[in-house]
A and B are shown apart, each in its own frame.
Chain A
Amino acid sequence: MSGALASPPAAPPPGDAPSPARRSAADSSASWRLTDRLGLAFAWFLGLLFCAITAAIVIFLALQGIRYLHPDLIWTNPQVGFNQSETGGFLAELIGTALVAGIAIAIAGPVGVGVAVWLSEYARPAGLARVVESSVEMLAGAPSVVLALFGILVFERKALGFLSETNGGVVFGKSFFAAGAMLSLVALPLVVTTVREGLQAIPNHVREASYAVGKTKRATIRRVLLPAARPSVITGHMLGIGHVIGDTAIIVLLLGDTQSLQGVGHIPLLGFLQGTGSTLTSYVFDNAPTGDLNQPNKAYAAAFMLLLLVLALNVMVDIFGRRSKELLWT
């Protein structure tokens, strides 16, 4: 009977070897009630419609992207110009995207893994665990505009003035540090959820075996559990980065949204991080017809670039996801 239902890869095998699909008369939908057949037809229709819409979006973006994305766009900085051939490329935006993603994941990664370990391995007192769980859930649901507004409040404080440009005692509050810190809040829930799932998939006897050879709980976590959960740790980071590079509201509000990287002071790297800039998402936003610059060709090129980045991250998530499935303990 298990042949009647094509068993999907993720389902646990029912035990018996799946027999090759045997299509009997009862299995064909001709004998079903009308409502059931309508439902099935509707499912097919929507499934194929979904495929078609997806294909349309991807092909459309790819066509526009290939038409407008020249290699020199990637290697030149934005410039001031009168038409779309004079305004340069988006090297600064690519660097900005990388910087922001780096800062955000450098904060969200360790903190997220820590929170996930605590939730999965300690979680005492139970009340605190519940509070933490709902906090993480709330962070996941918090709109990024709201996070951005919160960031503006925080980073305009005098005490945090060293993280952005200060001009005559007034803290500007917009910098890579500010945007990265707020974006880490976007990435955090993803890291926590993924790592926690990975840790919970490790069966208890592994922990007990580790205790039995005299390891402390801390050593067990560090030497046994985290290495075993490494694929989900990596997946969590990738998902986090994916969300971070896709976020626009926080960038527009907290990165200053300047066309090029504008450093502050004289220290090379730190100056950039204290300064303002923009990322691919804000570049697309500004170059859309609704934005300040209105250069649709550039917007298409940058959107395609962004799509390629997201696609690359997705492929990596897939690879590590498969590895984590291979690691499943039996």
Chain B
Amino acid sequence: MDEDILDDEPYTGLSQDQRAELGLGALVCGVVIVLLAMLVFILVEAWPSFAHNGAHWFGAGGDVDTQIQAIFTSGDFDQAPQLLIHAWPLIWSTILTTCAAVVIAFVCSLFVAVFMVEFAPEPIKRILEPVVRLLASVPSVIYGLVGVLVLVPFIGNHLITQHQKASVTPVIQLSGSSLLAAVVILTVMIAPIMIAIFAEGLRSVPRGWLEGSLALGVNRWRTFWNIAVRTARPALIAGTVLATARALGESVMLSMVSGSVGWAPNPADGLIFWFEPSRGLAPTILHNTDELTSPPMKHTLFAIAAVLLFSSAMLSLIGWGAKQPMKRYFNVGGAGA
């Protein structure tokens, strides 16, 4: 390899190697300890909020914004600390935006990835690949900016009718910052991540398997759909998990486009439901960061952070569990996170 084939470190036994291994091992343990410390710190800080509210923390009841305001002001003066919060509107908003965006993005990304890997003409293919990677790395604040300056006014001025606005005025204001805007922008944001990972998985399917199917007279679409897409299932799971984690933890973009009202959009309202504003868990943290000085507020925000962290941990656990039964049969396309 190098000019010095006989290295400056002659083979003198294991001690030096052992030292290197121990050093790296210590580094690795350090990383694990940082993560554990994060878990412990956040849980300890969040505990008072959970302990005070119990299971009702996750339930509905009252206006969550008033509760948060009460929590904040109770940190001042010598008041008794208030910790009462029923965070269901925030949780519901996160669930709605994340699920809707992930489902739409999954279907679209799968088809786009199939198109990109197999059916696109060579020139389109050559453009698409770097573009997907670029889009996957565009900062979320840029998507948020485009959303708040283009999509939100568009929805507010053209999609929502005056009649609809008037019908809900006593309860809530429809300005365009809405569930629809949040879902659209979030979908555009996470789709490139999915496409990149799906495409990588589809590409690593052995060509021989596809050719075997083609040789039997199965057409190209069916071959690719039945064999490549199935073989790439681990990659599909990995991509979905990664994108869901991104959607779940997205705070900046959502705080810009989804409106900042602690309101639970109700599907029973019909179509207008898509135009209702809401605020998810992560944007709530960002929204209230200036209020961390109030101890009860701090506990509440850390409780929200704990919920987010727990969900993202569960998510990777589910992804890992879903990949296990497939690992036995094939080991291709496992493009990891």
Binding site for B on A (CB under 8 A): 1-2, 4-8, 10-12, 14, 26-27, 29, 31-33, 36-37, 39-40, 42-44, 46-47, 50-51, 53-54, 57, 60-61, 111, 114-115, 117-119, 122, 128, 131-132, 134-147, 149-150, 152-154, 185, 188-189, 193, 210, 213-219, 221, 223-224, 227, 239, 242-243, 245-249, 252-253, 281, 284-285, 288-290, 296, 299-300, 303, 306-307, 310-311, 313-314, 317-318
Taking CB as reference atom, which chain B residue is nearest A321?
A: B133
* Of B51-59, B78-86, B134-142, B158-166, the one touching chain A: B134-142
Say how far B107's CB is from chain A's closest CB, in angstroms. Answer: 9
**Docked-complex contact B249 and A144, CB < 8 angstroms:** yes
**Docked-complex contact A39 and B225, CB < 8 angstroms:** yes
Cα–Cα distance between A224 and B2 once the two chains are bound (Å): 8
Taking CB as reference atom, which chain A residue is nearest B289?
A: A253
Contacts of B195 in A (CB 8 A): 50
> Which listed residue (B115, B134, B305) contacts A311, Cβ 8 A?
B134
B301 at interface, CB cutoff 8 A: yes
Chain B CB within 10 A, most for which of A142, A143, A223: A143
**Docked-complex contact A300 and B220, CB < 8 angstroms:** no
> Which listed residue (B28, B135, B145) contacts A303, Cβ 8 A?
B145
Cα–Cα distance between A137 and B301 once the two chains are bound (Å): 24
**Docked-complex contact B41 and A150, CB < 8 angstroms:** yes
A–B complex contacts, Cβ < 8 Å, 17 sampled: A27-B220, A29-B219, A54-B131, A57-B188, A111-B30, A115-B31, A119-B28, A138-B313, A141-B249, A142-B309, A150-B41, A216-B11, A219-B9, A248-B139, A285-B144, A311-B134, A317-B133
**Docked-complex contact B146 and A60, CB < 8 angstroms:** yes
B268 at interface, CB cutoff 8 A: no
B118 at interface, CB cutoff 8 A: yes
**Docked-complex contact A146 and B308, CB < 8 angstroms:** yes
Cα–Cα distance between A207 and B148 once the two chains are bound (Å): 54
**Docked-complex contact B35 and A306, CB < 8 angstroms:** no
B49 at interface, CB cutoff 8 A: no
**Docked-complex contact A310 and B137, CB < 8 angstroms:** yes
**Docked-complex contact B31 and A307, CB < 8 angstroms:** no
0/1 string, B22-48, CB within 8 A of A gives 1: 001101111110110010011001000
**Docked-complex contact B25 and A50, CB < 8 angstroms:** no
Taking CB as reference atom, which chain A residue is nearest B116?
A: A47
B16 at interface, CB cutoff 8 A: yes
B237 at interface, CB cutoff 8 A: no
Taking CB as reference atom, which chain B residue is nearest A13?
A: B207
User: Which label, helix, strand, loop or mixed, suits the secondary structure of the B interface?
Assistant: helix
B172 at interface, CB cutoff 8 A: no
Chain A CB within 10 A, most for which of B2, B29, B336: B336
**Docked-complex contact A218 and B17, CB < 8 angstroms:** yes
Contacts of A247 in B (CB 8 A): 139
Given known A-B contacts A47-B112, A285-B252, A150 and B221 have beta carbons under 8 A apart? no
Contacts of B214 in A (CB 8 A): 1, 4-5
Say how far A111's CB is from chain B's closest CB, in angstroms. Answer: 6
Say how far A199's CB is from chain B's closest CB, in angstroms. Answer: 13
**Docked-complex contact B215 and A1, CB < 8 angstroms:** yes
Say how far A38's CB is from chain B's closest CB, in angstroms. Answer: 10
Cα–Cα distance between A189 and B140 once the two chains are bound (Å): 19
Contacts of B118 in A (CB 8 A): 5-6
**Docked-complex contact A289 and B149, CB < 8 angstroms:** yes
**Docked-complex contact B131 and A224, CB < 8 angstroms:** no
Contacts of B30 in A (CB 8 A): 111
**Docked-complex contact A139 and B11, CB < 8 angstroms:** no
Taking CB as reference atom, which chain B residue is nearest A44?
A: B115
Contacts of A285 in B (CB 8 A): 141, 144, 252, 256
Tell me which residues from 200 to 253 in chain B have a Cβ below 8 Å from any Cβ of chain A. Answer: 200, 203-204, 206-208, 210-211, 214-215, 217, 219-222, 225, 241-242, 245, 248-252
Cα–Cα distance between A303 and B138 once the two chains are bound (Å): 10
**Docked-complex contact B207 and A11, CB < 8 angstroms:** yes
